[in-house]
Homo-oligomer: A and B are copies of this chain.
Amino acid sequence: MRIAVDAMGGDFAPAVVIEAVADALREIPDVEILLVGHTEKLAYHLQKERLKESSRLHYVHAEEVVEMGEPSTNAIRSKRHSSITVAAELGAKGQADGVISAGHTGAAVAATKVKLRMAPGVDRPAIAALMPAVGGHFILVDAGANTDCVPLNLAQFAVMGELYAQLIFGIERPRIGLLSVGGEDVKGNALTKETFKILSKMPINFIGNVEGHDLFDRTADVVICDGFTGNVVLKSSESLASAIGTWLKEALTKDAFRQIGALLAKNAFHDLKAISNFEEYGGAPLLGINGVCIIGHGASTPKAVKNAIRVANDFAKHSLPAKITDRIRECHVAVGDIPMNTPNAKA
C-alpha cells in the first residue's frame, strides 16, 4: 500500500511527521510512503531525523501549506499547491492508496472531498473519532467535518459508522446511538428529533438517544451527531482529561504522604494517562469520501502519526467506500418515503 503523508501538517511538522515516517518504514513492512511537502524546507529535518534512503520512501514537492488560521476552502482555491491538496491529488490519480494529514482538519476535508470526491450516494463525509469509554471504546461520528447538518447527513453517518465498526473493529451488529439531551425520543433539538425518525426506520441496530451523561459508559458502539457538537465534545473531553490530570498532580504534591503514595502508585498514573490521552489514538478516518483519508490530531506525537500511517495502511485494504454506497442503497429501500441522499449527490 502507498500512503501519501502530508509532511507539513500538524503543530510540530515537519519534524514529528518525519520521525513518524522513519518509524513506520521500520515497523510496517508492506507500507510505501509518499512524503508531501516543500522539499527544501524538509531537507534540514530529513538530515536531523536521519531518515535513510529507502526504496519505500518517495518525495513529492508541494509549494504551500494551509495554515491553521486560514479558511478551509483555501486548500482548493488560493492554495492549490498546498501539501494537503497535492497529497489528495496523489490519491485521486491512484498514485496513493491513502492520505494522511495532522494539519488543518477543514482543509483536509475540503481537499479530499474535491479531489477524491464522495463515495457514490454519500452527501457529506464525516470524521469518525475513537473515544475511550469504561470497559472499551466508542466511535463518535461526526467529530468535526460538518458544522451544519441536516437529518439526512446524520442518517448517512449512521451507515458509515456501522460499517466502520464492523470492518475495522469486527463488531458484528454495532449499537448505534443518537447523541441528544435526553433518553426519550421526545427530547432533543429539531435536528435530532427528525433524525430519530429516520434512524428508527433503517435496518440498523439503532438503540435510540444517548445522553451526554451516558456517553463514556459505552452504552453504544457508534454515537451519531452533527460535526459541531461532535467536535466540541471531542475537544472539550480532551480539555477536561488534561484538566483532571493537572488537578490530580496538584493534589498529589500537597504533602509528604501523598508524594510518597504517588511515587509508589506511579504506574497507575501512566496507565490512566494512556487511556485518557486522546492524542495517542493515531488519527480518525474521514468516512464517506471515495478513498482513504486519515486525519491526525494537530498536536500529534510521532507515535500518533505512525499509528495513523498504520491505520491508513489497514484501511486501504478494505473497500469501504463501495460498501458504504451499497449499504446506503439498502437503507434507502428500507426507509421508503424518505430519500437517503439529496438529489444532487451522485448515486
Contact = CB atoms under 8 A, between A and B. Distances in A.
Contacts of A235: 181, 211-213, 215
A262 interface: yes
Given A179-B232, A228-B189, A258 B247 contact: no
A144 B240 contact: no
Q: Copies of this chain, how many?
A: 2
Given A217-B239, A231-B212, A243-B132, A267 B258 contact: yes
A233 interface: yes
Question: A-B pairs with the 10 shortest C-beta distances?
Answer: A212-B235, A261-B265, A261-B264, A212-B236, A251-B268, A216-B243, A147-B189, A251-B271, A213-B235, A261-B261
Contacts of A260: 261, 264-265
Given A212-B232, A229-B232, A252-B268, 5 more contacts: A144-B181, A236-B237, A244-B276, A248-B268, A258-B267
A215 B148 CA distance: 21
Contact of A276 (B181, B226, B247, B257): B247
Given A181-B231, A184-B69, A238 B213 contact: yes
A215 B188 contact: no
B229 A212 contact: no
A229 B179 CA distance: 10
A186 interface: yes
A242 interface: yes
Interface string A36-54: 0000000000000000000
Interface in A304-332: none
Contacts of A27: none
Contacts of A133: 243
A215 B186 CA distance: 30
A192 B148 CA distance: 11
Nearest to A268: B251
Binding site secondary structure of chain A: helix
A258 B181 CA distance: 38
Contact of A261 (B213, B251, B262): B262
A140 to B, nearest CB: 10
Contacts of A243: 132-134, 216-217
A215 B236 contact: yes
Nearest to A298: B213
B240 A237 contact: yes
B229 A228 contact: yes
A71 interface: yes
27 contacts: A69-B183, A69-B184, A134-B247, A147-B190, A181-B231, A181-B232, A188-B228, A211-B235, A212-B235, A212-B237, A212-B239, A213-B236, A213-B238, A215-B236, A216-B242, A229-B229, A233-B236, A244-B276, A247-B275, A248-B248, A251-B268, A251-B272, A252-B265, A258-B264, A258-B268, A261-B263, A264-B264
Contacts of A188: 147, 228
A241 B212 CA distance: 12
A268 B269 CA distance: 13
A213 B184 contact: no
Contacts of A227: 181
Contacts of A69: 183-184
